[in-house]
Chains A and B, each alone.
Chain A
């Protein structure tokens, strides 16, 4: 229900969502000019471009995940409401995942358009790996964003704390994406996919256990 509320709010106001989408488009554009097109083939750089963009987009989305609740003490209201802290975490997680997912739905076509990469034949596995890595991003990110809102320099604190945690899923996602774009068989990426899945499971469990601690008054 909270997840629905958040999603509905996002799409009603549209500002946060629109700015995240525009931000994604801009980062992709920046990448286009931040490389020497005669020296580096796009396909070599494509996985990094995609994933650095998604990392920043996810960060932007997570930064405001609990910001909304801080206004008018909505978070306090949520905490006194008869729902468990665990369901609050999962609601926030789902809302964040949907938010990031929709931004990615805009990011991927733009990426294809701007960098002229062909993803038609690998669409399903690509979406799979995006989902797997994004889940890892959001699992840790939701936990940390609940903490940083009550710190000073919250907008800066989240990236400083969160980026080290995004490194394992990022490495895995880039490797699998590179293998997919290079038309290499999926069996080559099994190790990375296992790592991504293990990361998701471990951090989802850990964050579910630790989240109640961060919001208790």
Chain B
């Protein structure tokens, strides 16, 4: 079985589990007292954001490893990760406004985290556009590695500079110094969803990577 085929199985499993996330989110978690049913989108939005961030982190890491070892596999992985990350960033950027409209009363606001994720999306797009604009494979790998590393370094700066502006986003409810401030069933659903979205990421990356490797070995990559 090729890597792309295995990736297809992982993705299929993750999609089935995603249906489980929906069931849990809709039927087995309480309605949040202040936000009402709109809060349910949280179980999709936050894990999608997690996957997008994970994707960018791994693009940066793979870029560093590529420059150190000049192994084409790292470059292929970074490319696959960026492509998949763009999809998750899209999910995050569409579910966010759907939630924000009833809760904040606006579709979009220039909050620190919102701006950060928007720029995460811009970086992914820039990365993919750059890859599309260079024909020489070794040159493409080096250029995109440079951009991947710079992008990873840029994100904290964007967050910090917009944070100094002002912030409105709900404060973290899981990863914070004190214990998570969520009821057990909500937390369980969220963590389950985190797992599912990570699995989805892995499945997608395996497919994209596998297909890229196959097309390269055929000599038209």
- A192–B164 touching, CB < 8 Å: yes
- A168–B130 touching, CB < 8 Å: no
- B123–A153 touching, CB < 8 Å: no
Q: Which 4 A-B pairs have the closest CB atoms?
A: A151-B133, A168-B157, A168-B161, A152-B133
User: CA separation between A157 and B134, bound complex, in Å?
Assistant: 11
Residues of A150-167 at the interface with B, using a CB-CB cut-off of 8 Å, are 150-153, 157, 160-161, 163-165, 167
- B162–A171 touching, CB < 8 Å: yes
Counting CB contacts under 8 A, is A143 at the interface? Answer: yes
Counting CB contacts under 8 A, is B17 at the interface? Answer: no
Counting CB contacts under 8 A, is A216 at the interface? Answer: yes
User: CA separation between A202 and B155, bound complex, in Å?
Assistant: 13
Residue of A157, A168, A192, A195 with most chain B CB atoms under a 10 A cut-off: A168
Contact (A202, B164) CB under 8 Å given A150-B134, A161-B147 = no
Q: Assign chain A's interface to a size class.
A: 20 to 34
Cβ-neighbour of A210 out of B122, B139, B150, B160 (below 8 A): B150
Residues of B in contact with A (beta carbons under 8 Å apart): 67, 119, 122-123, 125-126, 129-130, 133-136, 139, 142-143, 145-147, 149-151, 153-154, 157-158, 160-162, 164-165
Residues of A in contact with B (beta carbons under 8 Å apart): 140, 143-144, 147, 150-153, 157, 160-161, 163-165, 167-168, 171-172, 175, 191-192, 195, 198-199, 202-203, 206-207, 210, 213-214, 216
Neighbouring A residues of B119 by C-beta, 8 Å = 164, 167
- B164–A203 touching, CB < 8 Å: no
CB closest residue in chain A, given B122: A164
- A213–B130 touching, CB < 8 Å: no
Contact (A214, B143) CB under 8 Å given A164-B119, A164-B154 = yes
- A157–B129 touching, CB < 8 Å: yes
CB closest residue in chain B, given A202: B153
Cβ-neighbour of A206 out of B122, B142, B153, B165 (below 8 A): B153
User: CA separation between A198 and B164, bound complex, in Å?
Assistant: 15
User: CA separation between A175 and B161, bound complex, in Å?
Assistant: 10
User: CA separation between A147 and B129, bound complex, in Å?
Assistant: 13
Cβ-neighbour of B130 out of A161, A163, A198 (below 8 A): A161
- B161–A172 touching, CB < 8 Å: yes
